[in-house]
Amino acid sequence: MPSSPPLRVVQWATGAVGRSSLRALITRPEFELAGVLVYDPAKVGKDAGEIVGLPDTGVACTDDVERILALDADCVLHMSLPASYFGNDHASDVETICALLASGKNVITTTGFVYPRCYGPGVMERLEAACRAGGTSLHGTGINPGFISDLLPLALTGLSSRIDHIYVRETSDFRGHPSRQIVVDLYGFTRSAKDYATAVRPFRAFQRALFAESVQFVADVLGVTLDEVEESDEFETSSEEFEIAAGTVRPGTVCASRWTFSGLVRGRPFMTVECVYKADATRVRRWTAPGSAIHIEGVPEIMVSVEEISHGLSGAASHAVNAIAAVCAAPPGVRTLLDLPLATGRGTVRLA
């Protein structure tokens, strides 16, 4: 019986997460790399293999969006920075994704869209119309949101007879994260307190929208109507100088931040997501150590902790790559976690 032909996939953006997924697309036989969209002019024209330290693939990187739209491909792994990084609003991401969907390519994105219904009927109508035009599907995923703050809590609530409050906490260590765009420009580490307050303003809106998707998704699945999603954040400054992969943290500059997102019902939190980010967890003692925790208050009370994932960026990329086959096989439309098999795919199994 002949095997299925490989799925042709485009890699959109080659940052830290994008490079991880690009390696998988090149090395896994069930995929064929169809194209690579890059933002860095220095990468334009280079072979995709060279970008990730692999042999040449015959696929050259391009910054030409129209060329990508014209490609014959089954799926696009959309892993760009959020539009807020470029000074644009969320509508720019919607426009890009709609163009890809309408061109006949399924889209898996790590730029939100885990539950785009949060953005109102106007956005949903645009996305669904693009899916109908292209006969395609959209799926938003990642490690958080996409797994820690939505898939895991929902799986655990299957053990509950009563749910009073869902608490999710993730603490991330950015010590080895190489991207200044992420660590400095988005999260604001190494900046003065004054510069941080200004620089993080557009990112704050993105963060609130991102985690509101998770909170609203879990609430809707459980039949709970939220009144609002409340956001708060604070930061910590360093008392010493130390180096991280993305630069130098000096005394008095921002070295950590804590974000809290609460879905409220009559003024009381039904679900709370707490995200702690540290420039170097070995240097920043405030707040919790790296890892994740889920606490479901109710009957029974459930507490689960996950020790730090050794390479969270790889996990986010893998969750997207492993969903490709399921998304390509799904009927056209916006697809959430509940519309796809729980195990959307598996990585390569390597036995000793």
3-class state of residue 214 by DSSP = helix
Residue-wise pLDDT for 267-293, tens only, equals: 999 999 999 999 999 999 999 999 999
Q: DSSP string covering 3-47, please?
A: PPPPEEEEEE--SHHHHHHHHHHHH-TTEEEEEEE-S-GGGTTSB
| Sign of the alpha-carbon torsion through 205, 238, 258, 112 | positive
Q: Rg (Cα) of the chain, in Å, rounded?
A: 20
What does pLDDT average to over the chain?
91
pLDDT digits (tens, 9 = 90+) for 188-208: 999 999 999 888 887 888 888
What's the rounded Cα separation, in Å, for the pair 19 and 271? Answer: 33
pLDDT at residue 144, rounded to an integer: 86
- Is the pTM for the entire model greater than 0.75? yes
Per-residue confidence (pLDDT) for residue 342, from 0 to 100: 56
| pLDDT more than 70, % of the chain | 93
What is the per-residue pLDDT across 143-160, written as a single tens digit (0 to 9) for each? 888 889 999 999 999 999
- pLDDT at position 352: 47
pLDDT at position 50, please? 97
List pLDDT tens digits, range 7-35. 999 999 999 899 999 999 999 999 999 99
Which residue ranges form the domains of the chain, and what is each CATH number?
Answer: 7-142+314-339 (3.40.50.720), 151-308 (3.30.360)
- Cα distance between residue 305 and residue 195, in whole Å: 35
Under-50 pLDDT residues of the chain:
1, 343, 351-352
Three-class DSSP category at 334: strand
